[in-house]
Each structure stands twice: as C-alpha cells, then as structure tokens.
Amino acid sequence: MDYIHVKLLGNFIATFNGKNILFPYSKVQALFCYLVIKKQATRDELSTLLWPDMEESISRKNLRNAIYKLKKVFGKEEVIDFLNKSTILFSESTKIDTDVDEFINNKDEVDIYKGEFLKGFVPKDAENFQRWAFEIREHLQIIYIKRLKDKIQSEEITKNYDEIEKYCKLVIKVDEFDEEAYRKLICCYKNQRKFNSAIELYNKLSDTLNKELFIVPDAKTTETFREVLNLMDVRHKEENNENYFYGRINELRLMENNYKNFINDKNSKSILIKGEMGIGKTSLKERFLQTIEKDKEVYIFETNCYQFENEYALKPWRNIISSLAYVIAGNKNKTSGILENIIRELVPEVNSGSRYSKNVKLEDTIELLKHDVVGNILTYILKKISIDKKILLVFEDIQWMDSVSISLLTSIISKCEENNIMFLLTFRNEFNHNVDKFLVSAKKYDRIEIIELNRFTTSEVENFIKKALPKYSLSKDIINKIYVETEGNAFFLKEYLNIIKSENNINIMTSKVQDVLKTRFIDISYDEKKIVEIASLFHDEVPMFILKELTQKDELEIMDIIEKLEGRFILKESINEKNICFKFTHQKLREFQYMNLSEAKKKILHNKIGKIIEKTLKNNIGDINIYYKLIYHFENAYNYIDALKYRIKNLNVYLNFSHELFPIIYYSNESYNELYFNDKETTKSLMEIEKSLDNLKVREENSIEVLKLEVSVLHIKGRYLIRKGEYEEGIKNIQDMIDKSSEIECNDYAIEGYKQMIYYCIQTNKSDEMIKYINCGLELAVKCNYYEEVGIILRLKALYKKMVGEYEEAQMLMQESINTLSETKHAFDKYALNIAACYNYMGDIRKRKENFLEALDYYNKAIEICEQKNVLTSLALFYTNAGETAFYTNDYNLSTKYFKKALNIYKKFDLIWGKSIAEAFMSIILMKDGNFEESFKFLKSADMNSKILKNPKEIGTVFRAKAEVRFYVKDNMYFDHIFKGYLDDDFQEYAKQGIMYLNEAMDQHQVDDLNRLIT
C-alpha cells in the first residue's frame, strides 16, 4: 500500500512513501489539497474552484492538464482514481494521513495545530479556492481557540500558571484582538506577582487596540490592570514595612531635617534618592514617609513611574492631577473650573472616571508643552492649593518617566520659588538624557539635594542579617556566601533572607528576582544584547579583544555599544595593565542573562571563547590563571578533551615544583613557592583528573588525543606515588606510561618515564637498575636531538657514578652536564637547578673524600643558585647537605644554622627527601646541648620520615642518631622519663644497624664514626 502524509497546518509539506512531493505549479498543489480534504470531487466542482472566470471548455482543458500533472507526480503508481467519468478521488490502495484529520479527530489535541490552514498559499486567479481555504482556515481556528480556552479554564482550577501562560500566549498569537486571553494572561501574571510582565502586556494590548481598531481595553481588563497596580503598591509597602530597617541613618536624618525646615518655612530643598536597582531607594522613601504620615499640615501626593509606560505622555502626572482634582472639589476651591479644563484637555480619562481607558502616545502630545502652558497652569494650581497647606509630591523611579512628564517636572520645580512645594524623587543610577537635563536645571536653581545610596559593606551585611534573622545562627561561611552573592545589594539580601526563612535552596534564583532583573534588559538593542550575552559567559570580566573577535566589530563600535550599557548601569569598565575589560555591575545580572541563554548557544560560544583565549598562552607563570579560564570555558562547551588537557597542564605546573627535586624553570622567579600542592590537594586533583579521563575514554574510546592525556595522567600519578614511597603502584604507572608513550611515539614522555625510574632508583639506592634506565633515556634523547635532556641525563649518570664510587668519572660527567646546560643564558636560567644539583653532587664527592671545607664551597654554590631563583624545594636538600658537612667539622653553630633553614622549608612543604637526615643531626646536636625533650621530638620525627622513602642513607643516619643519643644519655637520670619505651635497645645494637645501612649507601664517614662509638 502506498502512503501519503500531508501537513496542511502551518508550512505545507506533502510526502509520498516518505519522500517529499514537488508540484509543477500552484494549481496542481491546490487540486491535491482540495482532494485531500474533500476526499473526492467532480470535474465541474474542480473547474469552478480553480478556473472560475474562464470559459467551460478552457477550464475543463486546464483541469485535464492539472490532473495529468498530478498523476505524473506519483510516477508509475496509480494514486489518482476515477469513480466515474465525472468524479475524481484517491485510489483505495493509497493510505492518506493529514494533520487536519488528526486535529479534528482528537478532541483535546492542540499541539498538532502548528499554524493557519495552508498558511501563505495563494494560487493565482483562483478566488473560489481562496474562499474555500479561508472558510476551512476560520473553522479550524475557531476549534483551536476553543480548545485552548478549555485548557486555560482547566489549568485555572489547578493554578498551573506555566500552562495558563502558554495557552494564553497561543490564543493571542492566533488572534491578537482576543481581549479575554490578554485579560487571563494579565491575571496569570498578577497571581505569580510578575507585575512588570502584566504592565507590559496591558500596554501592548492598549497600543494594538488603539492603532488597529481605535478603541480602548474594556472595563473588565482595565479593572484587572488596576488590581495589578494596587498589588504592586501593596508589595512595595510590604517590602518596605518589614519589621526591620537597617542602615541609612545619616540619609534618613538628612531627609527629616530637610522636612522640618520645609514645614517651618526655613531653607529646604527637594530630595532625589539615587542608587542602583534594589539598593534601598524605595525602603528609604517609605521609611521617611512613615515618619511624617501623621503630619496633617501637608498634602502628600504619590505616584509611580513604570518602565512599560514611558511611551505614554504624562502617565505619572495623571494620578497627581486626579488627586488635585479631589482636593479642589472637596475644598470648593475657586480654581476648580481651570482645573476641569486642564483635566479635560490633558487627561480626559480622569473626567470620564476610567483611569486607564486611553493612552496618549508621545508623538500625539508634542504640542502640549508649547510655550510652557501646561507647566504654568499646573504651577499656578499647586501654588493656590499650597497657600493653605504645603504639598509634598512623591515620584518613584523617574528614570521611567516619559519626556513630556520630565519637562513638566522641570518646569514646575523651577517655578516654585516659595517654600510650600517639595518633591521627593527616586532615580536608578543609569544614564537617562531627559533626567540628566532635569538634574542640570534643578542644580542650576539649587532646588534639589541628591542622596546617593551605596551597597552595604561586609560588616554591614553581617549586622543586617543578625537584625533581620535574630533567631537564626548562621555560620561565617554562610554569611560570607550571602555577601558574595548579593554584593551588599539590599533587595538581593532580603530575598536571600526570605529563602533562608522558608528553608529553600539559597542557590536558586527566585521568580521575584528574575522578574526584577528582566526589567533591566528590556528595550536593549540587538547589538547590546549580543555584548551582554557574551559578557555573561565570563565569571569575572570580558576582555575587549574577545568581544572584538566574536562580534567582528572594531573597538570604537564596541565602545559605542558598551557606553549605552554603562549608561544603563548594566556593565562597567575594568581596565588592567594588559586589557580593557568589562564586567556586570552586579553578579545577579550576569547569572540572569546566562541562565536565559540556550544550551546550544552556551556550548558554541564557550568553545569559541576557549579557542580565542588559547592563543594568548605565553608559556610563563601567567598561564596558570589562563588555564583556569580555559578549563571553565571548554567544560561548559562540552569540549572534554581540551578541558582535561588544561586540567593536566594546570596540575603539572604545581606538581613540577612539588614532585621534582630539581625542576626545570620555565617562568620568572617570583612565584615559585606559591606553586605548591600539599598531599591532600594533590590527591583530590588526581582523583578528579582520573575520573575525567575515565569518562573521556568511554566517550572517545582510544583516540590518539585521549592516549596522550592518559600518558600525562600516568606520569603525574606515578611520579607522585614514587615520591611518597608507594613504589609498587608508582612503578606500575610509570612502566605503563613508557609503554604507551612508545606505542604512540611520544618520545618526550618516554624520556620522562625513564627519568622517573631513575629517581626511584636514587631514592632506593638501586644503582644496578639505575644505569639501565640512564642508558635507555640517554639513547632516546640523543636519537631525538634533545640536547637539553642529554644534559639532564648526564647529570643523573654522574650521580650514578658517584653512588658506585667512580668519583673522577662522576666529576667529569657533572662538568659536561653543566657545560651542556649553560651554553646560552636562556638555557642556564631554564636549567639552573640542574646545574645547582651538579654542584651539590660535587660537594657530595668532596664530603665522601672528607674534604669538608671544599664540599661546603660547592654546597654554597648550589645554595646561591637556588636563592637567586627563589626555589625552596631544592634549597632544603642543599641546606641539609651543608649542615651535615658542617657537623663533621664540629662547627655545630653553623651546622644548626643550615639545618634550621632546611627544616623551616620542610615545614612549609610536604617534602620528604633529606628531611630525616636534618632531623637526625638536629637530635644529636640538641642532645649534646642537654635539650633532651627537643632531641627526642626530632629523633622520633626522623625515625618516621626515614621509613617513607626506604633510602639506606636516611635510615642509616637515623640509626646513627639513635646510637649516639642512647650512648650519651645512658647514665642520665632524665633518660627514663623521656626516652624509655623508645630507645630500649643497647646503643651498640643501633650502631650495628646504622653501619649496615650506611655501608649500603657508601657513606664511609658515618660508618667510621659509628665504629669509633662502639670500640
């Protein structure tokens, strides 16, 4: 059976057996659509439908041709059939499905309706077809709207506001004049307290009805809108009549003193409270009004300016004029006739009793302020009323005043020279050309005092929380989090406290916060929106060079756009030494924008930003901060390979200075000692990286990129475990690393693996294995022409020669290594610690030969290089070796000086190599000084640390210390009190153990010292 599927609602699509049908011309398509809906039709019916104005013979001929063309569309398949010579239909062997049939047959279905029936399809010279299509269109639309309204009614019962909103918007999309749908949606917004959305929608309806039908919203809609405005006023009062009011004491005192002067006929000014959104302008205004509400000697007229009304002239003044009308009517004031004329001409709705029945657009009222007529008359009325009773006019949010209202405000405030009329205004600190002109004028006449509110400080936020939540005991961490999240903004602070009181998640942005934030971005241009979206992808600040690359605009174009956003106090500049950057004025603005970006857009932009930032890497210490940014952007772009690559690089920067005894210096020498991870941090980071790698291996399987990352992880983990003395697992990782490096021909990591095995052999004194890895590494480095690696491995070979007692060859190799690594200044700076290590080994050779003063010279050379490079990790070992050598010269003061320097470094870092030697000798020195308690502490610590690396030199030195301490305190009365239970064996036993280990380490001098002790 053949299968035809036709989509007639919205964009037309027809398929035959799964393939799109293409019609040769529009009337063939019209013929097809009519048959699909009607199922069958006569030739006369079709001729009249498609060729109504043609002669019968011509129309029949056209029909025959159209039928022929339609049959050809389906190829060899017999889709079109004839019941008789006059009736056309589809064959019984063809199954036809249409979205119209599906929509009609499913009584509750609305999702199938994707748009008008045959939307946009108008075949030429076919009025009868168009009339038929219009009738079907209207019929289906009526069904659709009825179903939507049924669903709205059903969802209203369960108060499912998301669904109500969805269905109301669908009705309005189909019928923009359906006032009931608007009204229900306004009511839905009202119930969710999305007041700004409700106002925006009402104004849209008013504008649409006024433009298209020359009518105004009906009484029911207007009443619903009034309820919204009343609730907004109530919310303002609720928010600002909380049982606590914190801070702003100085500002409140200034306003109160100014008001006292006002009522006492002394010098006073109007007040403008200025500050960012949510800073507390309304709270301060309400608090002030509460303090004067019992004052019956002053008329207080108050109104709000709304963002979505700034296109409608004199909206804020209408409440004021209406209130003035009641005052005049009540007092039977003789100016009432003048006022009635003003009301009738300026705001006719006041006279008609319908407050919002008509919106006067700005362009329709330009003539109103000619010659300052309105300003003069209104000033006259205010002055007349204020003779008997002073007037306070309160305007909230004048940044949303229309330009006509601002001009009127400017006119009145400049003409009220007597001290009987005062204004109290609030203004959000974003640039507004009209308000700016008003302020210039007001300042010129010295009529206004500006009070600017700033964010609360950390301590003020803490006090605010304690006053607002006296029954709650919040931790310092929670208080700090609240400060970071709110940045001291009073509105966000109150919202957080409400969340805490309701025991909800403080990380969720409430609908109330979202509703307020949404108003900040209304009416921004396409270019401004693009900049804001890009900026929201950055936690801190967005650099100009990234905006330039992503927007493909030059700097001046971008600055023009950003200046507008700065004027609205959305973005602000942040200039550092390298870049011009921009950031949001409040973190919540960024969060709101980011959460409203689609996931696809986030993914694409994050990846583009990551690739741009990648180009800025300079292979210096500053790259560390860039790595964090790259990780953030690539992870949010789901680019897990690059994210893991930079996680590994970032960790390696730190661990190179923690896990390498003589790290290569790629950077300046200012920040080395900040690049240290302790064991806890290292373990946590390794676990995170291994988890990321495992996830990546599942996604990407064994790609070359993933294998390279796996080799990097094996290197980090293996090196870390060897350093900790966990040799079995560490060696397994390094061997695996070497095998995989060879498999993917990654020679750099193969050499690195050989070096790690060499370090393991050094720690455990396994010289036989050590030379095998030295030869492998040297061979590969020479083969790859890695001359600097050759220099490093030559140093390690020299160390091997020293370990096996071949001192002359060791000395020669060390010098060769120094020469190789010092060929240029750049090479010397980079490999300075490897060169220092060579001097250290030369010192070791002199020490073994008992040329102690000469050995100290070499150690001091190594120390000097380390101090110049400010690398403490290597310095600790050199101080220890120098301290040991000074000890052999019996200069215990110098020895102590070196050991203390070493131990201070060991305290700062989780370093192990050489630590037990410094502690063991300090134990001996302190014991000689009679400080047994401190001696005991050092000895116990040395004992514990020597067992980690299992190095015979370190273990033997600790036994040497045990032997000496046990020997010197054997007859001391305090021995039992301090050492009993620890040094219970005879000193000779400790000495024998020490000699065994020190012989293995070829430390003849200490062996001789112990032999002298026991003989």
Average pLDDT, the chain: 86
Distance CA 960, CA 992 (A): 9
Mean pLDDT for 117-128 is 91
Closest CA to 917 of 893, 945, 937, 892: 945
3-class SS at 299? strand
Concatenated DSSP letters of 447-463: -EEEEE-----HHHHHH
Distance CA 749, CA 431 (A): 58
Distance CA 787, CA 171 (A): 76
Mean pLDDT for 219-247 is 73
Beta strands in 206-355 (DSSP E): 270-275, 298-304
Distance CA 159, CA 22 (A): 47
pLDDT of 833 higher than 90? no
- 818-831 CB burial, b ≥16 within 10 A, e <16: bebbeeeeebbebb
Q: What Rg, from alpha-carbon coordinates, does the chain have?
A: 43
Closest CA to 335 of 405, 388, 371: 388
Q: What percent of the chain has pLDDT over 90?
A: 49
501 — alpha (psi -120 to 50), left (phi > 0) or beta?
A: alpha
Q: 353-404: per-residue pLDDT in tens?
A: 433 344 544 444 445 444 457 777 788 888 888 888 999 999 999 998 988 8
Question: Which tops the pLDDT comparison, 662 or 819?
Answer: 819
| Two structure tokens written together for 1012 | 């002298």
Reported confidence tier of residue 577, pLDDT bands at 50, 70, 90: low
Distance CA 650, CA 624 (A): 6
With beta carbons less than 8 A apart as the criterion, state whether 96 and 80 touch. no
Q: What is residue 725's predicted lDDT score, i.e. its pLDDT?
A: 82
Question: DSSP state, 370?
Answer: G
Q: What is residue 243's predicted lDDT score, i.e. its pLDDT?
A: 44
CATH fold label, 855-1014: 1.25.40
> How far is Cα of residue 723 from the mean position of the Cα atoms in its chain?
37
Q: 263-302: per-residue pLDDT in tens?
A: 998 999 999 999 998 898 988 998 899 888 766 789 999 9
Compute the Cα dihedral for 376, 377, 380, 386 and give only its sign: negative
Concatenated DSSP letters of 86-154: TEEEE-TTEEEEEHHHHHHHSTT--TT--SSBTTT---TT-HHHHHHHHHHHHHHHHHHHHHHHHHHHH
Reported confidence tier of residue 333, pLDDT bands at 50, 70, 90: low
Reported confidence tier of residue 129, pLDDT bands at 50, 70, 90: very high
Distance CA 688, CA 705 (A): 19
With beta carbons less than 8 A apart as the criterion, state whether 89 and 4 touch. no
Distance CA 890, CA 220 (A): 103
Compute the Cα dihedral for 43, 46, 52, 58 and give only its sign: negative
Q: What is residue 372's predicted lDDT score, i.e. its pLDDT?
A: 59
Instruction: Determine which helix (DSSP H) or strand (DSSP E) holds 423, and give its type and residue range.
Output: strand 421-428
Q: 470-527: per-residue pLDDT in tens?
A: 888 888 888 888 888 888 888 888 888 888 877 666 667 777 788 778 878 877 899 9
How many Å from the N-terminal Cα to the C-terminal Cα in the chain?
110
Instruction: Determine which helix (DSSP H) or strand (DSSP E) holds 57, and give its type and residue range.
Output: helix 56-73
Question: DSSP state, 353?
Answer: T
Question: Which tops the pLDDT comparison, 242 or 271?
Answer: 271
Neighbours of 364 (CB within 10 A): 12
| Two structure tokens written together for 347 | 């705001």
- Size (the chain), residues: 1015
Reported confidence tier of residue 763, pLDDT bands at 50, 70, 90: confident
Q: In what order do the strands lie in the sheet with 94-98?
A: 19-20, 13-16, 2-7, 94-98
Q: How far is CA 733 from CA 587, 690, 701, 747, in A?
A: 44, 13, 20, 17
Instruction: Determine which helix (DSSP H) or strand (DSSP E) holds 396, and give its type and residue range.
Output: strand 390-396
Distance CA 758, CA 774 (A): 7
pLDDT of 611 higher than 90? yes
- Domain 2-139 belongs to what architecture? Orthogonal Bundle (1.10)
Please list the residues that pair with 452 across neighbouring strands: 274
With beta carbons less than 8 A apart as the criterion, state whether 645 and 631 touch. no
Closest CA to 242 of 493, 53, 32: 493
Beta strands in 576-706 (DSSP E): 580-584
Of 33-42, 234-243, 726-735, 821-830, which gets the smallest average pLDDT?
A: 234-243
Of 331-335, 346-350, 487-491, 687-691, which gets the smallest average pLDDT?
A: 346-350
Task: Report the 3 state secondary structure along 155-213.
Answer: HHHHCCHHHHHHHHHHHHHHCCCCHHHHHHHHHHHHHCCCHHHHHHHHHHHHHHHHHHC
Neighbours of 1000 (CB within 10 A): 14
Mean pLDDT for 542-558 is 94
- 349-359 CB burial, b ≥16 within 10 A, e <16: bbeeeebbbbb
Reported confidence tier of residue 343, pLDDT bands at 50, 70, 90: low
Mutual angle of helices 544-551 and 526-535, in 10-degree steps: 130
Mean pLDDT for 928-950 is 91
Q: What is residue 364's predicted lDDT score, i.e. its pLDDT?
A: 47
Mean pLDDT for 652-678 is 62
Of 224-238, 548-562, 580-594, 903-917, which gets the smallest average pLDDT?
A: 224-238
Q: 84-112: per-residue pLDDT in tens?
A: 878 999 998 899 999 999 999 998 889 99
Question: DSSP state, 362?
Answer: G
All structural domains of the chain with their residue ranges: 2-139, 241-454, 459-517, 855-1014
Distance CA 445, CA 451 (A): 17
Distance CA 271, CA 292 (A): 15
Q: What is residue 361's predicted lDDT score, i.e. its pLDDT?
A: 47
Q: What is residue 978's predicted lDDT score, i.e. its pLDDT?
A: 77
Distance CA 453, CA 392 (A): 22
Q: What top-level class would CATH report for the domain 241-454?
A: alpha beta
Closest CA to 357 of 348, 346, 366: 348
Place of tokens 């300042």: 443
Of 197-206, 240-249, 788-797, 870-879, which gets the smallest average pLDDT?
A: 240-249
Q: What is residue 975's predicted lDDT score, i.e. its pLDDT?
A: 64
Task: Provide φ and ψ at 334, rounded to 5°.
Answer: -70, -10
| Burial label, 220 (beta-carbon count in 10 A; 0-12, 13-18, 19+) | exposed
Question: Which tops the pLDDT comparison, 238 or 521?
Answer: 521
| Two structure tokens written together for 370 | 């000619």
Q: What is residue 392's predicted lDDT score, i.e. its pLDDT?
A: 94
Mutual angle of helices 403-415 and 373-386, in 10-degree steps: 50
Q: 713-745: per-residue pLDDT in tens?
A: 999 999 888 888 888 999 999 999 999 998 888
pLDDT of 787 higher than 70? yes
With beta carbons less than 8 A apart as the criterion, state whether 309 and 402 touch. yes
Residues ≥6 apart with Cβ < 8 Å to 816: 794
Distance CA 205, CA 168 (A): 13
Q: What percent of the chain has pLDDT over 70?
A: 90
Q: 857-878: per-residue pLDDT in tens?
A: 999 999 999 888 877 778 899 9
Q: What is residue 976's predicted lDDT score, i.e. its pLDDT?
A: 60
Residues ≥6 apart with Cβ < 8 Å to 337: none
Q: What is residue 344's predicted lDDT score, i.e. its pLDDT?
A: 55
Q: How far is CA 873 from CA 23, 663, 675, 700, in A?
A: 80, 9, 11, 38
Q: 170-227: per-residue pLDDT in tens?
A: 999 999 999 999 999 999 999 988 888 888 888 889 888 888 888 888 889 989 988 8
Instruction: Determine which helix (DSSP H) or strand (DSSP E) holds 997, and give its type and residue range.
Output: helix 987-1000
The predicted model scores a pTM of: 0.61
Residue 125 one-letter amino acid: D
| Two structure tokens written together for 901 | 């320097």
3-class SS at 560? helix
Q: What is residue 78's predicted lDDT score, i.e. its pLDDT?
A: 87
| Two structure tokens written together for 928 | 């000689």
pLDDT of 430 higher than 70? yes
